[in-house]
Structure 1
Amino acid sequence: MIRLDSISKQNGHQILFIDASMSIQKGEKVGLVGPNGAGKTTLFRMIVGEDRPDDGQVAIDSGMTIGYFSQDVGEMSGQSAVAAVMDGVGPVSALAEEMAKLEAAMVDPDQAGDMDAIIERYGEVQGRFEELDGYALDARAREVLAGLSFTEERMDGDVGLLSGGWKMRVALARILLMRPDGMLLDEPSNHLDLESLIWLESFLKNYDGALLMTSHDRAFMNRIVGKVVEIDGGSLTTYSGNFDFYEQQRALGEKQREAQFERQQAMLAKEIKFIERFKARASHAAQVQSRVKKLDKIERVEPPRRRQSIQFEFRTPPRSGEDVATFENVHKGYGGKPIYAGLDFKLRRKERWCVLGANGAGKSTLLKLVAGAIEPDRGTVSIGSSVRMGYFAQHSMDLLDGDETVFESLDGSFPQAGQGALRTLAGCFGFSGDDVEKPCRVLSGGEKARLVMAKMLYDPPNFLVLDEPTNHLDMATKEMLVAALSTFEGTMLFVSHDRHFLAALSNRVLELTPEGIHQFSGGYTEYVASTGQEAPGLHPGG
């Protein structure tokens, strides 16, 4: 299906691949993993022909169609989301657009004189639309968009007015509707809420083509892929199994290489000691010479490359009072649409509430009310005594000063901390070496999120309010954050679409549904076990 044979590739001074090979067969679902900058996107671009290897070849079965979803979605505007999705399938969307214009012309009194020509043209266009199974395609496009949490209104609205995250979903829907023979998906789980993520998981499980994807979402990757290809140090290594299996095998391989390396080092030390000891004695000259030759011929075992992962340890936050936040008879709505009507809810010290609910259910609204970013229309939200709050929202990243470097930004927040402590903090959040000298304006979404998180957690508050804190984070940073937050001694209220994060950190669940608000006195894992669903209103496989 897709084969990379002995490819080599260099970008500037950086060598990405040396004599690397891999293959994907029909029906295989493969996860592509490797540190940031290892060459995952370059590999995708070589498969679709947007880039070429310096050496070796990329072979794809003739006639095979490939759909490629990348984070760079390009310009979209002037058409509805449905039309933009159908665009990927060919001429059908142009016919649908012309039909819509002709339908508008039919009821326009100014065009009454041209009615015969309009009706005749409408018949031609509609006939061609039906030949191409356009009505079924329109329904399928709407089904895919609904799966990705689009409302009817949003499907028919101008795609140009959507935010970047929603445009990403349109670009993804376009590839899914194509149902090509092979799909390359670069971070499809970014920007999706939990419901969309679970729907996409089910869609991809039922897809019968070849799939190659990257994702920072561990649970998502685990449930879809049956094979993992790792890019590391220029080579491609294939593991058969899901992501958890790959991690176990990788750790095992590392342990074996470590033992092999240590055994060889001990043997070399022994030989060198003998040579040093007897090299001046004529009686041992022949033995010394034969050992020197033996050493020259030995193929040296490389020590395993250690992936740097620095753990962040919390300072103990000051203790808050027992009642951390209290909602009493809270009413809140937008433009006449009620979100909360008489909400009563209390957070107590050391509780870790995760908030679940479909798009528009009021998850972010709840967090904004607690953080004081918005006021209730009626009722009160009160914060308890000695509570120090840290609030992470998506807009937090826009508050960074673009002219400051990463280090200056940290230093400005903690002038007493000292250079060593701040460099260690930066390292924990993935800024090592010269990265601390990058100006904030050039940082990626993930880097900005890590910097904001570092600033919030260094001098820890005792109440963390986190709105999608893992949105832009890679798997290693997420693992570090989960490990750090699991020892956090304060209170938490958070929204996340990452099931690993939800399961590891919550001990309470607040579920927002159209029928009402439900509180569960157990974490996300207990919630799934007791409701039989992973998100409100969604049943397994549904």
Structure 2
Amino acid sequence: MATLQVQRVQLAFADRDILSDISFTLSEKSRSALAGGNGSGKSTLLKVISGHMSADDFAYSATKGMRISYLPQSDIVFEDGTVYEEVEKAYARFDEMLLELHDLEIKLSSASEEDKTESHLLRLHEIQEVLLNDGYYSRKEFIQQVLFGLGFSNTDMDRPSKEFSGGWQMRIALAKILVENPTIMLLDEPTNYLDIEARYWLKNYLKVFEGGVMIVSHDQGFLDETVNEVYELFQGKLHRYSGNYSQYVKQRELEIAQLEAAYKLQQDQLEKTEQFIEKFRYKATKSKQVQSRIKMLEKLEIVEVPSHLKQLSFSFPPAPHSGNDVLIIEHLVKRYPALEIFSDFSLLINKGERLAVTGKNGAGKSTLLRILSGQDSDYGGVVRLGSNVSVGYFAQDTEKTLNPDNSVLEEVSGIAATADLPKLRNYLGSFLFSGDDVFKPVSVLSGGERSRLALLKILLHPVNLLILDEPTNHLDINAKEMLLKALKQYDGTMVFVSHDSYFIEHIATKILYLTEDNPPELFDGDYEYFIYKLEQKEKVEDPKKGSTSVASQPVAAKAALSYKEANRKKNRLGSLRRQSEELLKTHRLLMEKIQHTEQQMALVENYSDAEKITALVQKKEQLHTTMEQQEEAWLSLTMEIEELEDELA
């Protein structure tokens, strides 16, 4: 089996270790995710492995002939060649072989039968066999299949690559890597620029890809279906977890519960020690004890909880009361000079509904949201709000409305004027602005940071209709989970655009599907129902449709369940997940009680009293027994959850 062994990766900036003595192995069978908080070094590690960045120390060994391809997050620009020509460059590795083949064919065609050596004929056969087996002769069909799967049309093939936007150029780069068919692919946020159809296609492609992959992604649903191990980067160190991303989160929840209990205990001890030092610092009789405690603090290894796995929380202000008919669309017509987006489209959105708008890029999703929010009035037909409806609108360019001279904290303080400073900082922390980041001027923030800040400002407004265009684009998985939980509790109405299947699955009550060639189609059900109906429709329209279709092969298996049965299992799964969360909470409380009991046992007045210490020991044993029972119950629930997830996958 072909393997890549990465050893002793060391990289520091200033006095901070970004990557610290990292070693691991990838093989041609690896299905790996690389996880960690923003700024933890995930992209840096991929750059080092792929040779696009040097490290202070780095060694690796690879099986002979292994080929590694790397997709960065952004900044790939193609200036020359058509789309097809750019992707066809993936076959450049055969150039020398083709030259040799050409030379052999010339020699053999001009040589007499006596001069045609066996070695020449054998080498000719070897080259032709390699080209055949590696798909060189069928490259046109394969290139087209990949480009179609990633959303390119037939007419796009001969268009100059430089005519495409940055997002579409990243799709060309991804197509090129897939066509290269390397031994291992290193993919940094490959779904960033993909719509829902292209994400489905890529997910299915990776499932049957015969090489290895390591993926960085904020799309939990995508990772759950494409990886079977997770490497976590935290404080420069790398840790491996078996299972997909959701299973990794479950394992980390238990570890985090223990870390948080240890962190709380350590902070209590630190506070008491510092109080002792401060109280007796200048007393000669206590100088030895003071110095002893100072040395202890200097040597103490501080317990840290990974920031990307801390439990973030956010709650909406109560939504003002509105009428039942929240948004009314009647005979909507929207045209551009060369394109008709909507023709005689009507829709009623009722109070409390959460409508996901999805479909291919360019089908009119953002246009529809601009019309609904009142930002675009150049249309035909009627679009009106219901009684007492107030709108909060987040667009992909809303960050331009921020005041560059304000600090991050000042920017939100005007929205939540009644909130005290700790509450404001808690809001900002939920959106990944912590510590001194809240005092940064808006002008120095990155595009992603400005977008997160703009989204937070929208969400802090007390409105009863949220219109959100790609709200999760610049959130990591933990922040996305926080937003998802908050939106579930939101008591207003929502219309949102998203390509994130996990997010849609957990939020949407209805789905509006837009395509370029057909009228908008409303699916009156959740995401699972949407996929089921789409698969059934494709079977009717094209029974032979292959893996490039929207509804993938795994989704087809999911659709084999009757909708009623699938819904029952989904409800059971939700119940089990809630029970699991409750058990984890109980586990954390038991950990705290055990820590407290151990503290009591360490007190002089207790351990010198036989009766007290006996009672405390018994109490600790009872707590341990209860905790073990809770852990067994949690593991049993986890197994049932995983079984149901497999059945619904």
Q: TM-score range by the shorter chain?
A: 0.7 to 0.9
Provide the C-alpha distance between the structure 1 equivalents of 2:171 and 2:237, rounded to a whole number of angstroms.
32
Q: CA deviation at 1:223?
A: 0.3
How far off is 1:300 after superposition?
A: 8.2
One-letter amino acid matched to 2:522: Q
1:86-125 matches, within 5 Å, as 86-90=88-92
1:10 to 5, 9, 12: 12
User: Residue by residue, what CA displacement relative to the aligned partner does 1:44-76 show, whole Å, maximum 9, x if unpaired?
Assistant: 122122334434523333332111000233332
- Residue 538 of structure 1 pairs with residue 540 of structure 2: no
Does the Cα contact within 8 Å between 2:189 and 2:216 map onto a contact in 1? Answer: yes
> Could you tell which deviates more after superposition, 410-419 or 155-164?
410-419
Secondary structure class of the residue paired with 1:305? coil
Cα offset, 1:500, TM superposition: 1.4
State how far apart, in whole Å, the 2-side matches of 1:384 and 1:260 are: 52
Question: Is 1:518 matched up with 2:521?
Answer: yes
The residue type paired with residue 390 of structure 1 is: G
2:397 is matched with: 395
Task: Report SS of the residue matched to 1:59.
Answer: strand
CA separation in 1, counterparts of 2:375 and 2:196? 24
Aligned partner of 2:195 in structure 1 is 193
SS in 2 for 1:224: coil
Contact 1:509–1:519 (CA under 8 A) maintained in structure 2: yes
Give the CA deviation at 1:495. Answer: 1.4
The verdict on how the C-alpha distance between 1:12 and 1:333 changes in structure 2, with shifts beyond 3 A counting, is: same
Q: CA deviation at 1:519?
A: 2.7
What CA deviation, in whole Å up to 9, does each residue of 1:55-113 have, x standing for no partner? 452333333211100023333224322222223432899xxxxxxxxxxxxxxxxxxxx
- The Cα shift of 1:413 comes to 4.8
Cα offset, 1:202, TM superposition? 0.8
Q: CA contact under 8 A between 2:373 and 2:393: conserved in structure 1?
A: yes
Corresponding position of 2:488: 486
2 CA distance for matches of 1:303 and 1:420? 23
Q: Deviations over 1:133-176 (max 9, x none)?
A: 87743443232221111223333323223222112111111111
Deviation at 1:256, TM superposition (A): 5.0
> Residue 192 of structure 2: SS of its match in structure 1?
coil
Give the CA deviation at 1:247.
1.3
SS at match of 2:47: helix
Per the TM alignment, residue 336 of structure 1 is displaced from its structure 2 partner at its CA by: 4.6
Q: Distance in 2 between matches of 1:363 and 1:389?
A: 18
Alpha carbons of structure 1 residues 303 and 517: separation in structure 2 relative to 1, 3 Å:
same
Cα distance in 1, alignment partners of residues 136 and 219 from structure 2: 35
Determine whether 1:314 maps to 2:316: yes
Q: Which residue of 1 aligns with 2:366?
A: 364
Contact 1:225 1:242 in 2 (8 A): yes
Do the aligned residues in 1 keep the contact of 2:76 with 2:173 (CA within 8 Å)?
no
Asked if the contact 1:511–1:519 (Cα under 8 Å) also holds between the matched residues in 2, the reply is yes
1: CA distance, partners of 2:336 / 2:150:
23
Measure the CA separation in 2 of the matches of 1:444 and 1:266: 37
Residue deviations 1:10-64 (CA, integer Å, cap 9, x gap): 1222112333321112211110111111111221122122334434523333332
Aligned match of 1:528: 531
The partner residue of 1:327 within 329, 338, 344 is 329
Residue pairs, 1:71-150, within 5 angstroms: 71-90=73-92, 136-150=138-152
Please, which moves more after superposition, 363-372 or 36-45?
363-372
Q: C-alpha distance in 2, partners of 1:304/1:455?
A: 30
Closer/same/farther in 2, CA of residues 259 and 471 from structure 1, 3 Å limit: closer
Flag the 1:360–1:265 CA change in 2: closer, same or farther, 3 A.
closer
Aligned to 1:305: 305
Helix, strand or coil at the partner of 1:481: helix
Instruction: Give secondary structure in 1 for the equivalent of 2:472.
Output: coil
What is the CA-CA distance between 1:222 and the residue it aligns to? 0.7
Distance 1:470 1:499, change over 3 A: same
SS of equivalent to 2:397: helix
Amino acid at match of 1:430: L
CA RMSD of aligned residues (A): 3.3
Matched residue type, 2:529: E
Q: Which residue of 2 aligns with 1:35?
A: 37
Count of residues in correspondence between the two structures: 480
Partner amino acid for 1:28? Answer: S
Distance 1:3 1:534 in 2: 46
Give the partner amino acid of 1:216. H
The answer to which of 164-173 and 390-399 deviates more is 390-399
**Secondary structure in structure 1 of the residue aligned to 2:315:** coil
The verdict on how the C-alpha distance between 1:409 and 1:159 changes in structure 2, with shifts beyond 3 A counting, is farther
Write out aligned runs for 1:332-347 (5 A): 332-347=334-349
Quote the offset at 1:531 in angstroms.
4.4
Q: TM-score, normalised by structure 2?
A: 0.67
Which structure is higher in helix share? 2
Distance 1:534 1:61 in 2: 46
How far did 1:312 drift? 0.9
Give the percent of matched residue pairs that are identical in Structure 1 and Structure 2.
36
Q: Cα deviation per residue 1:487-517 (whole Å; 9 max; x = unaligned)?
A: 1111011111111111111112223354544
Superposed displacement of residue 458, structure 1: 0.9
Distance in 1, matches of 2:335 and 2:253, equals: 51
Change (3 A) 1:495 1:43: same
Q: Tell me by how many angstroms 1:266 deviates.
A: 12
Deviation of residue 476 (structure 1)? 1.3
In structure 2, what is the equivalent of residue 162 of structure 1? 164
1:203 Cα deviation from its structure 2 partner: 1.0
> What is the deviation of 1:248?
1.6
CA distance in structure 2 between the partners assigned to 1:444 and 1:262 by the alignment: 34
Aligned-residue offset at 1:265: 11
User: Measured at CA, do residues 360 and 306 of structure 1 come closer, stay the same or move farther in structure 2, by a change above 3 Å?
Assistant: closer
> Following the alignment from structure 2 to structure 1, what is the Cα–Cα distance between the partners of residues 266 and 512?
56
Cα separation, partners in 2 of 1:75 and 1:509, compared to 1, 3 Å: closer
Structure 1 residues 59, 376: CA separation in 2 closer, same or farther (over 3 Å shift)? same
Residue 342 of structure 2 aligns to a residue whose secondary structure is strand
Read off the aligned partner of 2:65 and give its amino acid letter.
G
What is the identity, as a one-letter code, of the residue corresponding to 1:43? L
Match of 1:101 in 2: none
1: CA distance, partners of 2:87 / 2:405 = 39
CA 1:257–1:403 in structure 2 vs 1: closer, same or farther (change >3 Å)? closer
Q: Distance in 2 between matches of 1:74 and 1:203?
A: 22
Distance 1:492 1:477 in 2: 19
Gaps of 5+ in 2: 96-130, 270-291, 540-548, 557-649
Compare 359-368 and 39-48 and name the one that shifted more: 359-368
In structure 2, what residue type is equivalent to 1:539?
A: A
Q: Which residue of 1 aligns with 2:49?
A: 47
Matched residue type, 1:523: D
Flag structure 1 segments of 5+ consecutive residues without an equivalent.
94-129, 268-291
Aligned to 1:409: 411
Distance in 2 (CA, whole Å) between partners of 1:253 and 1:183 is: 30
Rate the CA distance shift 1:89–1:445 in 2: closer, same or farther, 3 A.
farther
